[in-house]
A and B are shown apart, each in its own frame.
Chain A
Amino acid sequence: MFKYIDCIDAGSPYCPCELALKGECIICSQLHGKEFCDCLNWKGTCIYQEFIWNGYKSKKIREFKKFKIVKREYLREDILKLDIKVNKELSRDLNDIGAFVFLKNEKDAEAFSTPISILSSDIETDIITVVIKREGIKSKAIFECQDEILVKGPYFNGIQGQKYLKELKNNSCLILSRGVASAPTVLAAKKLKINKNEVYVLLDRGRSRENFSKPYFLSLGCIVEDVSFLNIDGEIKYEYKKEIEQLIKKWNFKTVLSAGSDDFHEKVINFIYKIDKYINFATVNNSTMCCGEGICGSCIIKGSNNEKIRSCKQQYNPKEVFLRGIN
């Protein structure tokens, strides 16, 4: 299988990073303990050269900055939507597939910093919109923010398999979405529409009357259908399996974007692979993250060959991670 490895930060102003400094660069062999070139993915710049010309140092790490919350809105008692006024540079950067930030209440310790996907970023008003579900201690702390909040970013690895979304032009894409995981798919849908793709969304409304992202999808011109994917055993219901199969026949989707838990990704990918093994997948990144810089290791998952993947930075082919029994 084609080994798809990428570092989302490679070639960006944040590259070379601390990993390069410590000889752990994801892409560059010369910055990974080797003495000769054997880079795993070429994005138009030589990371080793950037490192040498930067004085054998890594670039500066992203830092928290304080911004104003301009609107707080409860979509449900446990789902909060925040509009935050950031600066031009950040709003511009965050208007991209897979964009996310770390949020934190100023009074809390560093360990509270929480990765949150961008639902939309308005590059005229510089207002970013995020949706947070109250789950554990970190998200609870964000709910306590009233007027101001600390934001660290931009980060871009909120969606895996981005290559398969970015290469779609005049094509069609199916989005299968559940719960708050649908937030990053709205921004993805926006970019897909700009590239003249048809976007078909099966949107699980969960416990709410309607998924909060539905109006966003509609205003982008996506076709949206409300569904309730899972039966009591947590399996995709027969009726939706049938429907997905029919949609694939009719639309010939090249890429399916799965937005739910990892368990959901696994079910979706294994099911669709059996219908058409050439369909590519993109998945919302659900890893637990702490630093976002590839350092702390809390986001590490295992790839198909048991290799460690720092999923806050590294892009992988979702098939390689979620397909079972095929290699």
Chain B
Amino acid sequence: MKVVVIGGGWAGCAAALEAKKCGADVLLIERTDMLLGLGNVGGIMRNNGRYTAAQEMIELGGGDLFELADKCARHKNVEFPGHKHATLYDVIKMEPTVRRYLLEKNINIMFEARVVDVELDKNSIKGIYLYDGTFIEGDVFVETTGSTGPMGNCLRYGKGCSMCILRCPSYGPRISISKRAGVEDILGMRGDDSYGAMSGSCKLNKESLSDEIREKLERDGVYIVEVPKEDVNLEKLNMKVCQQYALKEFAENIVLLDTGHAKLMTSYYPLEKLRKIKGFENVRFEDPYSGGKANSIRYLSMAPRDNSMKVTGVDNLFVGGEKSGLFVGHTEAIVTGTLAGYNAVRWGLGLKTTTLPASLSVGDIISFENSMKENIEGLKKRYTFAGASYFERMKELNLYTTDDNIIEKRVKNLFIDGIFKERLL
């Protein structure tokens, strides 16, 4: 049985890995020359409720990628405003590490291969077409193309292409595969009723910071300095994707995290203003290249799905990551991607697809996000274990814990420990 995964971000890597672990033949197709997508410019794991989610996944047998991220960590147990016990992985080591891991598992990967269309047979996808007309057949498909860009969206809903890691001008635009299969996209909204949201952090070149800042950053993992009063811009917070970082502290302070580059926790920051700050006199952006002006636009392309991650309206298409909902984060992408890969194989074998129990945070977020998307207010929110309303919910429902033993027991009591490790064929 052949599973074709479209889009090699965290969600796609997780889906491909899980489908392979289940025993399927797997092809992962990525339009750029790198895996991980936005994961190449992220790095924060295990902060707040993400810790619980990562441990749950490990107990479920789907922890490979979390363990790789732990191995690539530059810092563990980092605290910054509103966030506790974060792990910061090194974005420079992460991609090659995951790439090697997937290749060792005999997952076929195609790079610089943009998918542009599907061939349908009634309600099911027979195959997909690459940009050059190459036809690729499969039994089940997983779409993990994310929700970012392309240029027209970054222009209409943002401030133009800021040249982020997705490099649309070089590799061509993301397209919505589910839409090509005849299913309308769901769109995320902002507070002001317009669509999409702007990515909430950017990266500075660490070498361009003063020695003092760099040393402190490399020692502690975090560096915080006040924004000059006249430059505080609270409005930018409303545009932001990452509601878990849309706190006043992030507007009034510059928060840097050491993820290999210096991660700056704000969407964009005019270079001229940034250079006024002590130690930032020579600073330059690493991602997006035009981070002085803008950032990428996200959440304009979600497919309607059920809680097993199957797209409503197409028989053999599953989704994960940002494509599957208003999820923010690597952890969230890995969780949803893994379930999508798992159920893709089950579906391909004619087995009933499964959902994750709501008594685990990884199951609850999937069903909660789905129910919230039904109204406009819900479409204005983002869902992440790391903060904002969903982390509140985790605490209320007593799902949040950093006690590994409790998490182990919870999963064992449900008799689903190790399910993501089992071969299905």
Interface residues of A (CB under 8 A from B): 2-4, 28-30, 35-39, 42, 44-46, 48-49, 52, 167
A36 contacts across to B, CB distance below 8 A: 152-153, 156, 185, 187, 195, 300-301
Q: Are B172 and A38 in contact (CB under 8 A)?
A: no
B409 in the interface (beta carbon within 8 A)? no
Q: List 20 A-B contacts (CB under 8 A).
A: A2-B117, A2-B133, A29-B152, A30-B152, A35-B195, A36-B156, A36-B187, A37-B174, A37-B175, A37-B300, A38-B176, A39-B175, A42-B114, A42-B172, A42-B173, A45-B169, A46-B150, A46-B155, A49-B152, A49-B160
Q: Are A48 and B156 in contact (CB under 8 A)?
A: yes
A28 to B151: give the CA distance in the assembly, Å: 11
Please, which residue of chain A has its CB at the minimum distance from the CB of B129?
A: A2
B161 in the interface (beta carbon within 8 A)? yes
B135 in the interface (beta carbon within 8 A)? yes
B149 in the interface (beta carbon within 8 A)? yes
B179 in the interface (beta carbon within 8 A)? yes
The 5 closest A-B pairs by CB, nearest first: A46-B151, A42-B172, A48-B152, A37-B152, A2-B133
Q: Which residues in chain B, 130-188, are within 8 Å of chain A measured between CB atoms?
A: 131-133, 135, 149-153, 155-156, 160-161, 168-169, 172-176, 179, 185, 187
Please, which residue of chain B has its CB at the minimum distance from the CB of A31?
A: B152
Please, which residue of chain B has its CB at the minimum distance from the CB of A47?
A: B152
A3 to B135: give the CA distance in the assembly, Å: 12
A46 contacts across to B, CB distance below 8 A: 150-152, 155, 161, 168-169, 173
Task: List the count of A-B residue pairs having beta carbons below 8 Å apart.
Answer: 61
The contact of B149 among A29, A37, A167, by CB within 8 Å, is: A37
- Chain B min CB distance to A21 (Å): 16
The contact of A49 among B161, B174, B187, B301, by CB within 8 Å, is: B161
- Chain A min CB distance to B157 (Å): 9
A48 to B195: give the CA distance in the assembly, Å: 18
A30 and B156 in contact, given A4-B133, A38-B175, A48-B151 (Cβ under 8 angstroms) = yes
A98 to B411: give the CA distance in the assembly, Å: 66
The contact of A52 among B131, B135, B150, B155, by CB within 8 Å, is: B155
A167 to B160: give the CA distance in the assembly, Å: 33
Please, which residue of chain B has its CB at the minimum distance from the CB of A43?
A: B172
Please, which residue of chain B has its CB at the minimum distance from the CB of A44?
A: B169
A3 to B179: give the CA distance in the assembly, Å: 15
A48 contacts across to B, CB distance below 8 A: 151-152, 155-156
A3 to B175: give the CA distance in the assembly, Å: 15
A52 contacts across to B, CB distance below 8 A: 155
A3 contacts across to B, CB distance below 8 A: 117
- Chain A min CB distance to B149 (Å): 7
Please, which residue of chain A has its CB at the minimum distance from the CB of B134?
A: A2
A4 to B114: give the CA distance in the assembly, Å: 15
Please give 19 more A-B residue pairs, beta carbons under 8 A apart, in addition to A37-B300, A49-B160.
Answer: A3-B117, A28-B152, A30-B152, A35-B156, A35-B195, A36-B152, A36-B301, A37-B153, A39-B152, A42-B172, A42-B173, A44-B169, A46-B155, A46-B168, A46-B173, A48-B151, A49-B152, A52-B155, A167-B132
Q: Which residues in chain B, 91-138, are within 8 Å of chain A measured between CB atoms?
A: 114, 117, 129, 131-133, 135
- Chain B min CB distance to A41 (Å): 8
A37 and B133 in contact, given A3-B117, A42-B172, A48-B156 (Cβ under 8 angstroms) = no
- Chain B min CB distance to A7 (Å): 16
Please, which residue of chain B has its CB at the minimum distance from the CB of A39?
A: B173
Please, which residue of chain A has its CB at the minimum distance from the CB of B170?
A: A44
A39 contacts across to B, CB distance below 8 A: 150, 152, 173, 175
A44 to B135: give the CA distance in the assembly, Å: 22
A44 contacts across to B, CB distance below 8 A: 169
B301 contacts across to A, CB distance below 8 A: 36
- Chain B min CB distance to A6 (Å): 12
- Chain A min CB distance to B290 (Å): 13
A29 to B153: give the CA distance in the assembly, Å: 11
A29 to B129: give the CA distance in the assembly, Å: 20
- Chain B min CB distance to A299 (Å): 25
Identify which of A30, A35, A36, A167 gathers the most chain B CB atoms within 10 Å of its CB: A36
A39 to B179: give the CA distance in the assembly, Å: 12
Q: Which residues in chain B, 37-59, are within 8 Å of chain A measured between CB atoms?
A: none
A271 to B304: give the CA distance in the assembly, Å: 45
Please, which residue of chain B has its CB at the minimum distance from the CB of A42?
A: B172
A38 contacts across to B, CB distance below 8 A: 175-176, 179
B117 contacts across to A, CB distance below 8 A: 2-3
